[in-house]
């Protein structure tokens, strides 16, 4: 019997994502000036206020206020009527030195024996459902908001948009797990004030359906465009007026959108957030490593859908265990446990090896903090830190290295494909 599956996304102006982006901007700046930095930084944003807290071990000195204001400005909170504005918000820092008790479990005389920064389990997932091996509902939810942000910055076809927004996509699937159609699309977008609420709602709904949706559709493959039928149920700003938003409408905290950040409810999640953590924290680095493994397994033809779990004990380099679930889609004549053992042979999952393989000691994290950490394009960019200042620094950074299909040949050889 056909079934429905739903995923959501939130925009870069959502308060939780504002917090994530500030935390990851701090990570990038610390790594740009000291690649050995150990950082765990949390951010809270609310009406006219930013609070930074966390633990740091680094030789770098940062002007955290400037960094936070730059992020808020880039997102688009630049007007006083938003009640949260880059130049005027208060910023309080309670960042202090990392506990030596934790650090002694991570650093070793031999770098290869670097211990895990925490205990826990991390998951990676991949599916053949889309070109980027991501679940379709989440991929579309992200695309809607990326395009909505582009429309806001263009300020041409739609001129009333403000930074905060959420999307949600529900897809109907057949018994054999193939997408049949899009059942429901939900978009809630912050906007400027209107004189008449009824006219406002009508215009916003019309613009979302007639401007936003066609812009998203035109970049999709034909088989995905066909999912956009005239039977879609649209809920556009279903509560009505959405003028008050962002950190003034809701307090934002780092790490509260972990499902948006990963697979939209598909696969599994170990519970650990990513943003604000340097790569010695396996919550982040091992989640990227398992995505890298899952994606390469699917791309190599081992299975159509793969979930990979790895687990650690704090201060210990060797993982406690590796688990693989192919959901019955395996194509290599092996049980999932046998696939897991081969994965351990192909991929070194010690924390130091993950950092080296995926080049995680580079300032690559700001770009991950909105619109998902997975399914993004791996590319090299030049990032500038403290532009125009005495300590300006330019760094060439390869982004989203865990999205590369650089192990496909090794996987194929190991599995005889």
The answer, yes or no, to whether residue 101 has pLDDT greater than 60, is no
8 is in an annotated binding site: no
Half-sphere exposure for 336 (CA within 13 Å, toward CB): 15
CATH number, residue 238:
3.30.300.10
**pLDDT tier at 110, thresholds 50, 70, 90:** low
Q: Are 285 and 360 in contact (CB under 8 A)?
A: yes
User: Is 345 annotated among the ligand-binding residues?
Assistant: no
pLDDT at 196: 85
Determine whether the annotation assigns residue 28 to a binding site.
Answer: no
pLDDT of residue 97: 83
Query: Quick one: 348 and 373 in the same domain?
Result: yes
Rounded distance, CA 382 to CA 66, Å?
A: 20
Residue 51 lies in a domain: no
285 and 226, same structural domain? no
Q: Band of the pLDDT at 340, cuts 50, 70, 90?
A: very high
Look at residue 213 and tell me if it is in a domain.
yes
Residue 110 belongs to a domain? no
166 labelled ligand-binding: yes
Confidence of residue 93 (pLDDT cuts 50, 70, 90): very high
Per-residue pLDDT for 375 more than 90?
yes
Q: Which domain holds residue 196?
A: 3-8+135-244
Q: What angle do the packed helices 64-75 and 15-33 form, to 10 degrees?
A: 130
> Residue 113, annotated ligand binder?
no
Look at residue 111 and tell me if it is in a domain.
no
Residue 292 annotated in ligand binding: no
Residue 190 binned pLDDT confidence (cut-offs 50, 70, 90): very high
CB atoms within 10 A of CB 411: 23
Is 14 marked within a binding site? Answer: yes
Among 244, 270, 294, where does a domain finish?
A: 244
Q: Does some domain include residue 68?
A: no
- 17 belongs to an annotated ligand binding site: no
Both 224 and 312 in one domain: the answer is no
Indicate whether 239 and 305 sit together in one domain.
Answer: no
**pLDDT at position 220:** 96
218 and 306 in a single domain? The answer is no
Residue 266 assigned ligand-binding role: no
Q: Is 410 annotated as a binding residue?
A: no
Count of domains for the chain? 2
The residue out of 244, 262, 290 marking a domain boundary is 244
Does residue 345 surpass a pLDDT of 60?
yes
pLDDT tier at 105 (50, 70, 90 boundaries)? low
Q: How many CB atoms lie within 10 A of CB 226?
A: 14
Which carries the bigger pLDDT value, residue 119 or residue 353? 353
pTM of the predicted structure, to 2 decimals: 0.96
pLDDT tens digits along 278-310: 999 999 999 999 999 999 999 999 999 999 999
Residues 232 and 360 in one domain: no
In this model, does residue 102 exceed pLDDT 60?
no
pLDDT (tens digit, 9 = 90+) per residue, 144-182?
A: 999 999 999 999 999 999 999 999 999 999 999 999 999
Co-location of 337 and 360 in the same domain: yes
Task: Among 244, 271, 299, identify where a domain stops.
Answer: 244
Separation between Cα atoms, residue 125 and residue 411, nearest integer Å: 16
Q: Phi/psi class of residue 371: alpha, beta or left (left: φ > 0; alpha: ψ in -120 to 50)?
A: left
Query: For residue 109, what pLDDT band results from cuts at 50, 70 and 90?
Result: low
At 204, which helix (H) or strand (E)?
Answer: helix 197-207
Q: Specify burial of residue 394 (Cβ count, 10 A radius: 0-12, 13-18, 19+).
A: exposed
With respect to residue 102, please indicate whether it lies within any of the assigned structural domains. Answer: no
323 and 408 fall within a common domain: yes
Residue 161 lies in a domain: yes
Task: Mark whether 236 and 296 lie in a shared domain.
Answer: no
Is 196 marked as a binding-site residue?
A: no
What rounded mean pLDDT belongs to the chain?
95
Asked if 332 and 231 sit in the same domain, the reply is no
Determine how β-strand 252-253 pairs with β-strand 38-46: antiparallel
289 is a domain residue = yes
Query: Is there a binding annotation on residue 101?
Result: no
Q: In this structure, are residues 283 and 277 in contact, taking their beta carbons and an 8 Å threshold?
A: yes
Shared domain for 188 and 225, answered yes or no, is yes
**Is 217 one of the annotated binding-site residues?**
no
Of the pLDDT bands very low, low, confident and very high (cuts 50, 70, 90), residue 40 is very high
CA proximity to 51, closest of 244, 254, 246? 254
| Residue 192 annotated as binding site | no
């Amino acid at each position: 019997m056909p079934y429905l599956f739903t995923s959501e996304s939130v925009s870069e102006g959502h308060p939780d994502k504002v917090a994530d982006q500030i935390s990851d901007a701090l990570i990038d700046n610390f790594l740009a000036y000291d690649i050995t930095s150990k950082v765990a930084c949390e951010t809270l944003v609310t009406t006219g206020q930013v609070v930074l807290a966390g633990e740091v071990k680094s030789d770098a000195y940062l002007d955290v206020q400037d960094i936070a204001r730059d992020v808020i400005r880039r997102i688009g909170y630049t007007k006083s009527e938003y009640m949260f504005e880059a130049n005027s918000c208060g910023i309080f820092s309670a960042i202090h030195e990392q506990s030596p008790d934790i650090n002694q479990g991570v650093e070793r005389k031999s770098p290869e024996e670097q211990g895990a920064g925490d205990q826990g389990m991390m998951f990676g997932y991949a599916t053949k459902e889309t070109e980027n091996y991501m679940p379709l509902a989440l991929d579309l939810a992200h695309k809607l908001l990326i395009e909505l942000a582009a429309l806001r910055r263009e300020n041409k076809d739609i001129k009333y948009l403000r930074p905060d927004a959420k999307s949600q996509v529900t897809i109907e699937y057949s018994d054999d797990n193939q997408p049949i159609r899009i059942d429901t699309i939900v978009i809630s977008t912050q906007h400027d004030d209107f004189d008449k609420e009824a006219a406002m709602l009508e215009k916003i709904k019309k613009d979302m359906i007639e401007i936003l949706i066609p812009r998203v559709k035109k970049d999709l493959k034909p088989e995905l465009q066909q999912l956009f039928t005239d039977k879609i149920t649209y809920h556009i700003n279903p509560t009505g007026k959405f003028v008050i938003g962002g950190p003034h409408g809701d307090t934002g905290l780092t790490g509260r959108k972990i499902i948006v950040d990963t697979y939209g409810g598909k696969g599994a999640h170990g519970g650990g957030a990513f943003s604000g953590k340097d790569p010695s924290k396996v919550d982040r680095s091992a989640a990227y490593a398992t995505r890298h493994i899952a994606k390469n397994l699917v791309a190599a033809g081992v299975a159509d859908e793969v979930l990979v779990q790895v687990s650690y004990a704090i201060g210990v380099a060797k993982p406690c265990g590796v688990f693989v679930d192919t959901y019955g889609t395996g194509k290599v004549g092996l049980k999932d446990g046998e696939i897991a053992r081969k994965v351990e042979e192909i991929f070194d999952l010690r924390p130091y090896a993950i950092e080296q393989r995926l080049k995680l000691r580079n300032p690559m994290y700001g770009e991950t903090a909105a619109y998902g950490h997975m399914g993004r394009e791996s590319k090299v960019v030049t990032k500038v830190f403290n532009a125009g200042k005495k300590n300006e620094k330019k760094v060439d950074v390869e982004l989203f290295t865990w999205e590369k299909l650089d192990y496909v040949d090794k996987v194929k050889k190991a599995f005889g494909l």
